Structure 1
């Protein structure tokens, strides 16, 4: 329990008392402390199971009688409720009773904790807070997680649980040499939602926002007061603090010269780490643990250079393989960002991290990629491309390419977007542009209203799922048009980029592996056969997460589907090689071999890190990104050299035509989506059984089969 005092109106001191719910005393086994990542101190009192009559109690002493507000913080789960009662008892009499979590709080996100309150006139002396299960009923285990309770006579107080836990402070001293005033901008990058926040350090302390008032900027040599960072740090994971010196939000000096003192209290004797920073580029990335009280957490506090040197020492001593050779032609990239979110670190950090990466031989610094930034549309509709914005942004990409001294043929690929899907039928039905584009597409296919089972073209429209049985033809083509509209929007961007850059190169998006998650193209509205049966597409890209799948080998199934869809028009296939979040060395090598053997001509390993600069993979001290996993470094290095040794054979080759084919029915996907996924999983696992029996398989679509594509197979 913590009892801070704050000034209230009229000069009286308001009393505020804080109680962890897990400190309440249950009478039986119906309330139990449990881990809860969003709760104060990462613990909560759980009342979903056990004795339905159990009551957990906390005694509280009220010094001054009067109107009080009792705040309760609990975790909100999606869709399910776990109502519970808070009763305030004084002198054996009920003062007030309130039921919480009867309905979802609209101002809170799911899986986060929400504050709600009840007011009560409390007498001086001892009162008792009682937590009970509403209606003496148990509930879903996902809910009824009570975090903490605050009792206060400050009715203006909006409590924050971080104010009552361990506190962390920083003081900054600005170095010499700045002719214009500066402040410290902090971009806090967290490891869960809410993900981000803008903050600053200034002469008057810390604040939220992009910048302080100009009167509070530092002159060279000035020092801040002690600034409380506790609200920037999540109690389960801390934060990454991306720090830069700035004159204004949009203006930065070239170099950072500053000293940062981190402390457990606002006094010099409580300092646990001092960082003297001289950084050019102007940037500092600091990994902050939840607090600095324990030796373990103090060891987790670190800056960019600490981590780069530590990892570099491991890399310098690592037994790197010498088989084969690093690839020179096969484009093998790695998802690696050196620095924090929008924060390049000192050049010494960049150089050390580059040296570590160079041991592998990835193509990031020898080959050319474009990230388009052209995904622009009006009213969020694929059928309303913002051609002006797309053209202007494409022109910028063309200028950048020329400035780098590169030509279109140097571009390995240009990625438009990460994990787009076909737009939902409900959205399409409300958009007039979709209706016009839908009718034009059907006419281009030679279809008539009679074919669509309607009287005339005025009756032709996209329909929603509830029209599946009443308008089956319109429903079938509406589902197919989800992919067509996405592909048309992508093609608009491709044409603009190639015109601006002066030539052709592979243009793609990264498709999530929805084709394996549900074994059905239409779970995400992306039918590879529909998409690639069009000269507007010249490349396709996917990823092999296969989370929760029967086997990571399902990722290779996804590549086989892409190969089949690209068979007629020869689109180039690329793929993310998911290599973190628990993947082992053999998983990585087998997945890569499966992808390349089935026709992938470009790979990118995801995600290397750096583990200290991104929330991907979790906090640095337990990050799952693979820079933090030396035990799989060798697998990547071997894989690179194995591919490099045979790249001259692999790059021009595609798998030979198989003797066995599987018919892929997109129509079956359309009619079974949302109803029965067994057909798709049966198809995927038939493919897997054949692969395990060493029987190569080709997929053939319905249109390919109608054109004779099954001829010659067994």
Structure 2
């Protein structure tokens, strides 16, 4: 490990700043605080708002206490300083630690940080994002991005000269989290602000720029040409999300003579080590623009932390225009080294040929594997892509699928026709036409009178009557009663489906029948990995697009990794009507996606029927923003290689394969899916929500999460499971193939209940929970499903409205528990008291007050179970 003194670099008008990086502390106990790489913390991803400067921090377990780490820093001027601790603080936990400052053998400062109720600056809370002062806790709909900076308002007077900062692990009350401190920052500013805090897109993580600027990184190069030269430094993209525009510098100020070394230049505003970075180096003339280096020019380059002290990080001979790879932890981790990107690719290519498993002698012949390497004009990058097994979008030097064309995005008819013209004769090889990324299909304007008559006509086509609508179809409006609003949503959706169906037809005319149309659906909103029912299911039932497209970015959110299985089941539910292929983004992005998760998700997707695998942006890492695979993760490149060739090995079995018919189904219908988004959320009754500032409006997800968790529990028990909709029950004979159906929801489409009852009497088993359909699709009281179950139900009691399996759920407290004489049962999030209304109902479990919690009823040749919780 390289040990550095804390450094402070300020402009004249800036506050005084001293940064004590976590990785520079010295632990006093062997089993206490540890210097850790970011991969061993809560923050390890290519995207989001949790960032670790220089990839290192100081960590200690949640159980450890009374252990200390120290660092001596230089105070530049006598002044009063606020003392900030920058640490990771996922919500709801305690992270107690104390900071002491000692000068001249006297303790001059002590404060305890990390209490669950402490006020902190959080990621994204700058002026033009959320514009928030320090908050105790903050709730983000996607889960965790909780970098935190905490400081008491009072300042401490420090003398110029050395000061010892002590970081002490305190007794940590439950719920207790492991403590990860990125750095301690002293500033003469009394304000709750930092660099970029008032500029959109910069201050995602508090004080990150101050910490980066406090550690200079010096570069010098040798001019190996016969002309005076400067060095052109270029990062194609930064990886610090929303601050990832290319960065350039021309150094030094004065030209460097032929054969001479340049002076040392600080490059820490070009190479920002919150991620692994790549720096392209080119020799240019005195004007800073004209390139004077030749293809065979090699530029000796040195990188150092403190040139005067001969603390060299590395020396690399850089061929003209090539890129030097900077590991994020290069400034403190002696095991790291500077390398050329092309040399790392060559090493990985060698490993692929000698060490990595290869299940097939050839690439996949039918299933396209997409992954972008195209932003590089370097031949070695394309060769590396070919080595990994990609069979699309390579030059004629390599073997690819004949039909592999791909374009993002063609959003309207004119763009489609213009692109077809541009392709010319190649249009018949065009395969993937994207209409947009993470888009909504939109809605009509419900106030526009032009839609009234078409809506009335649509109602009549659906054979809906006044008893269904509350008014005659001839008097219906799009903004009328609840029933009309329910149907207006679906009418609006079908209007949008028609728009995309038309674009799909135009694409087929323009490119040929081989083209597939789709739009990537992001599963990271509201109820994660569930998706809007109209867009995710009905759009494909109505043939709006000819290819289902979604993504695996599950490493970014607090969801179970197995939830990918549910996502693919949703896709299968959508395409079962017309057999559209599934285009699956399985993101290898590292850091973030663990290689073993990625491997499993690729093969899971193939086994679940995906016909395209898309890795989005891959490499070289310096060519992409937040989506990439860093050169520091060879295991991920190995997983790409091996899973691609694994697919090639099993392709012959997949060509005409069909999914095995399931005998169990989980209902995911519109009644619950559309109504739960608008269900009232009692923030004061939910202890997680009420302790937080809500960065966005939470929606109830209890019912839909229960559907997901029921599905996952059945899959873990090794059962094959399908997802079906209430429309499937009403309109078709889908129930006939199932022996068991699970229903979870407060809302049920009442038209499905008679068919469910017939199916039960004919021998089916129905399990109902999480509301038992006590409301209908119009959000009105409903008794039909309760009557089938043979129970009445009291109003639901809820204490958790929006939960994530790896965030709130582990800390959830039961609403109630079962009677002491019965099977142990905790009601999580949701409790209903049940009362039998039919003589053939048997109570299996009671709540503590004696009311029924779980009931069973034999009905004909079948059975029904009612469960009064989620």
- TM-score by length of structure 2 reads 0.57
CA distance in 1, matches of 2:230, 2:161: 54
Is 1:275 matched up with 2:295?
no
Is 1:189 matched up with 2:189?
no
The 1:126/1:668 distance shift into structure 2, 3 A limit, reads closer
Q: Which of 293, 305, 313 is residue 342 of structure 2 equivalent to? A: 305
Is 1:317 matched up with 2:354?
yes
CA distance in 2, matches of 1:549, 1:70: 37
**In the TM superposition, what is the alpha-carbon distance from 1:507 to its structure 2 partner?**
0.2
Is 1:43 matched up with 2:57?
yes
Is 1:602 matched up with 2:641?
no
2:336 is paired with a residue whose SS is helix
**In the TM superposition, what is the alpha-carbon distance from 1:445 to its structure 2 partner?**
2.8
Is 1:374 matched up with 2:414?
no
**In the TM superposition, what is the alpha-carbon distance from 1:313 to its structure 2 partner?**
1.8
The 1:616/1:437 distance shift into structure 2, 3 A limit, reads farther
Is 1:230 matched up with 2:268?
yes
Is 1:149 matched up with 2:173?
no
Q: Contact 2:235 / 2:247 at 8 angstroms: preserved in 1?
A: yes
2:185 is paired with a residue whose SS is strand
CA distance in 2, matches of 1:47, 1:315: 38
1:334 aligns to what?
370
**In the TM superposition, what is the alpha-carbon distance from 1:18 to its structure 2 partner?**
4.8
2:596 is paired with a residue whose SS is coil
**In the TM superposition, what is the alpha-carbon distance from 1:326 to its structure 2 partner?**
5.0
**In the TM superposition, what is the alpha-carbon distance from 1:200 to its structure 2 partner?**
1.8
The 1:705/1:272 distance shift into structure 2, 3 A limit, reads closer
CA distance in 1, matches of 2:382, 2:16: 54
**In the TM superposition, what is the alpha-carbon distance from 1:703 to its structure 2 partner?**
3.0
Q: Contact 2:367 / 2:611 at 8 angstroms: preserved in 1?
A: yes
- What are the superposed Cα offsets for residues 496-543 of structure 1, whole Å, 9 maximum, x if unpaired? 645654767210123346799867444xx5554311232432221234
Is 1:261 matched up with 2:301?
yes
- TM-score by length of structure 1 reads 0.67
Q: Which runs of structure 2 are paired with 1:401-550 in the superposition (5 Å)?
A: 401-402=423-424, 405-408=425-428, 410-420=429-439, 442-443=455-456, 445-446=458-459, 460-461=478-479, 472-473=482-483, 476-477=486-487, 487=497, 490-491=500-501, 493-494=503-504, 497-498=507-508, 501=511, 505-512=515-522, 520-522=530-532, 527-543=535-551
1:702 aligns to what?
726
Q: Contact 1:242 / 1:284 at 8 angstroms: preserved in 2?
A: yes
Q: Contact 2:586 / 2:615 at 8 angstroms: preserved in 1?
A: yes
- What are the superposed Cα offsets for residues 554-610 of structure 1, whole Å, 9 maximum, x if unpaired? 6565445434433444433333456762337983685255223xxx44344678655
- What are the superposed Cα offsets for residues 29-51 of structure 1, whole Å, 9 maximum, x if unpaired? xx967756645663358898888
Q: Which of 181, 204, 210 is residue 160 of structure 1 equivalent to? A: 210
For the aligned residue pairs, the C-alpha RMSD in angstroms reads 6.0
Segments of 5+ residues of structure 1 without an aligned counterpart are 206-215, 376-389, 463-470
CA distance in 2, matches of 1:168, 1:662: 60
The 1:243/1:702 distance shift into structure 2, 3 A limit, reads farther
**In the TM superposition, what is the alpha-carbon distance from 1:332 to its structure 2 partner?**
2.1
CA distance in 2, matches of 1:7, 1:561: 55
CA distance in 2, matches of 1:519, 1:669: 13
Q: Which runs of structure 2 are paired with 1:177-216 in the superposition (5 Å)?
A: 183-190=232-239, 193=241, 196-204=244-252
1:583 aligns to what?
596
**In the TM superposition, what is the alpha-carbon distance from 1:274 to its structure 2 partner?**
2.8
1:393 aligns to what?
415
Segments of 5+ residues of structure 2 without an aligned counterpart are 44-50, 130-144, 196-208, 395-399, 678-699, 739-870
Equivalenced residue count is: 636
2:278 aligns to what?
240
The 1:246/1:532 distance shift into structure 2, 3 A limit, reads farther
Q: Contact 1:84 / 1:133 at 8 angstroms: preserved in 2?
A: yes
1:536 is paired with a residue whose SS is coil
CA distance in 2, matches of 1:24, 1:678: 43
1:72 aligns to what?
84
The 1:336/1:244 distance shift into structure 2, 3 A limit, reads farther
- What are the superposed Cα offsets for residues 386-417 of structure 1, whole Å, 9 maximum, x if unpaired? xxxx3453344223321xx3134x32222233
2:119 aligns to what?
102
1:378 aligns to what?
none
CA distance in 2, matches of 1:197, 1:313: 33
CA distance in 1, matches of 2:713, 2:502: 38
Is 1:684 matched up with 2:703?
no
Q: Contact 1:186 / 1:200 at 8 angstroms: preserved in 2?
A: yes
More helix by share: 1
CA distance in 2, matches of 1:585, 1:57: 39
**In the TM superposition, what is the alpha-carbon distance from 1:327 to its structure 2 partner?**
4.7
Q: Contact 1:34 / 1:45 at 8 angstroms: preserved in 2?
A: yes
Q: Contact 1:18 / 1:148 at 8 angstroms: preserved in 2?
A: yes
1:208 aligns to what?
none
Q: Contact 2:363 / 2:391 at 8 angstroms: preserved in 1?
A: yes
**In the TM superposition, what is the alpha-carbon distance from 1:640 to its structure 2 partner?**
0.7
2:584 is paired with a residue whose SS is strand
- What are the superposed Cα offsets for residues 161-209 of structure 1, whole Å, 9 maximum, x if unpaired? 234446342437485799x99944323433x54652432231445xxxx
CA distance in 1, matches of 2:661, 2:307: 72
Q: Contact 1:420 / 1:509 at 8 angstroms: preserved in 2?
A: yes
CA distance in 2, matches of 1:249, 1:417: 39
1:637 aligns to what?
645
- What are the superposed Cα offsets for residues 454-496 of structure 1, whole Å, 9 maximum, x if unpaired? 899897449xxxxxxxx65366457657865764664465456
2:580 aligns to what?
571
2:236 is paired with a residue whose SS is strand
CA distance in 2, matches of 1:45, 1:416: 45
The 1:668/1:62 distance shift into structure 2, 3 A limit, reads closer
